[in-house]
Amino acid sequence: MLKRVERVSAEVPKRANHSYREILEVEDLTKFYPPVRRGILGFRDLLDTLRGRREDVLALEHVSFTVRSGEWFGLLGPNGSGKTTLCNIILDITTPTSGQVRFDGHDVNREHGHTRGRLCPMQYQFFHDRVSVRDGLRQTGAEWMLPRKEIEARIDWLVDLFEMRDKLDDWVIRLSGGMQRKVWLIATLMSGAEFLVFDEPTWGLDVFTRRTLYRELGQFMEKTGTTVFWTTHNLQEAQETCDRIAIIDNRLITVTTPKKLMEDMHKANLEEAFVQLLRGEQESPVGSDSGTTRIGTS
């Protein structure tokens, strides 16, 4: 069993480098996308507009929560609940309609000078070409303008941590999907960013590779104090890895710990608690225990 399971307590998540400093503040965030254009000339859109039928798409509505430095924070919600939109706002790939996200006190969509290089998404580049793991990682280090000695030191440390030393000279495209994912993760960690944003990083990975990733990313976080902000549809994964979770469905439903949510909902696992919280009893598996209670936040 993963040792992180026992370390998650109801009120006080424990991680060696967990400082409790609120590093990221999501404040009253709302995001509307313009309606998708239909047809080449937009004639149908024009008609719909005249009939008052064209509406903006709501992705996020008045969402507020904070993420603490050094924690593994999970963002959970059903399809279309706004998770990717929120990640993209944090990474300044898109901007909010209203509200703001502050990192270490600075608006991530405006004060780039203060936030650049400190937040990092999962790195997916360079792996479509015929490049070895070592060269790909060196290129990444160079893109981050790290000194050559530092690049070699980080590669050395991370390939051992992720048990990838014997793959260093293989082409990345010849590795299995799970191993490629590990290389992407190593490339991401090489950035030295304090805050990592992963949107469904374990999608499509087998249970063994996932567990290796959880363990190794957890070790990395403990050694470096890095904060991980992570979306997933795998609720067992969230239960095992996340210190705290936010559940959204375009609006914020709750911010809590997996353990506290299971206690509050009287459920044995996070998946059942999540289903009950969002959909009520009717979609819970037959035979599950019932009883809805107040949801606390932490």
Chain residues 49-88 in contact with Mg ion, contact rule CB under 5 A: 83-84
> Which residue's CB is nearer to ligand ATP, number 33 or number 124?
33
The item of ligand ATP, Mg ion, none sharing an interface with residue 79, based on CB under 5 to 8 Å by kind, is ligand ATP
Convert the chain into a string of H (helix), E (strand) and C (coil): CCCHHHHCCCCCCCCCCCCCCEEEEEEEEEEEECCCCCCCCCHHHHHHHHCCCCCCEEEEEEEEEEEECCCEEEEECCCCCCHHHHHHHHCCCCCCCEEEEEECCEECCCCHHHHCCCEEECCCCCCCCCCEHHHHHHHHHHHCCCCHHHHHHHHHHHHHHCCCHHHCCCEHHHCCHHHHHHHHHHHHHHCCCCEEEEECCCCCCCHHHHHHHHHHHHHHHHHHCCEEEEECCCHHHHHHHCCEEEEEECEEEEEECHHHHHHHHCCCCHHHHHHHHHHCHHHCCCCCCCCCCCCCCC
The item of ligand ATP, Mg ion, none sharing an interface with residue 80, based on CB under 5 to 8 Å by kind, is ligand ATP
> Which residue's CB is nearer to Mg ion, number 75 or number 155?
75
Q: By the 8 A CB rule, do 73 and 226 touch?
A: no
83 binds ligand ATP (CB under 6 A): yes
153 binds ligand ATP (CB under 6 A): no
124 binds ligand ATP (CB under 6 A): no
> Which residue's CB is nearer to ligand ATP, number 228 or number 247?
247
Query: In angstroms, rounded to a whole number, what is the distance separating the alpha carbons of residues 178 and 184?
Result: 10
258 binds ligand ATP (CB under 6 A): no
CB 109 to ligand ATP: min, Å:
16
Of 81-89, 107-115, 179-187, 258-266, which segment contacts ligand ATP by CB under 6 A? 81-89
Of 75-83, 156-164, 186-194, 289-297, which segment contacts ligand ATP by CB under 6 A? 75-83
> Which residue's CB is nearer to Mg ion, number 194 or number 199?
199
Q: Give CA separation, 7 vs 10, 239, 240, 257, 259, in Å.
A: 10, 11, 10, 11, 10
100 binds Mg ion (CB under 5 A): no
CB 199 to Mg ion: min, Å:
6
The item of ligand ATP, Mg ion, none sharing an interface with residue 234, based on CB under 5 to 8 Å by kind, is none
The item of ligand ATP, Mg ion, none sharing an interface with residue 85, based on CB under 5 to 8 Å by kind, is ligand ATP
CB 233 to Mg ion: min, Å:
9
Q: Which residues bind Mg ion (CB under 5 A)?
A: 83-84
Q: Which residues bind ligand ATP (CB under 6 A)?
A: 33, 36, 57, 59, 77, 79-85
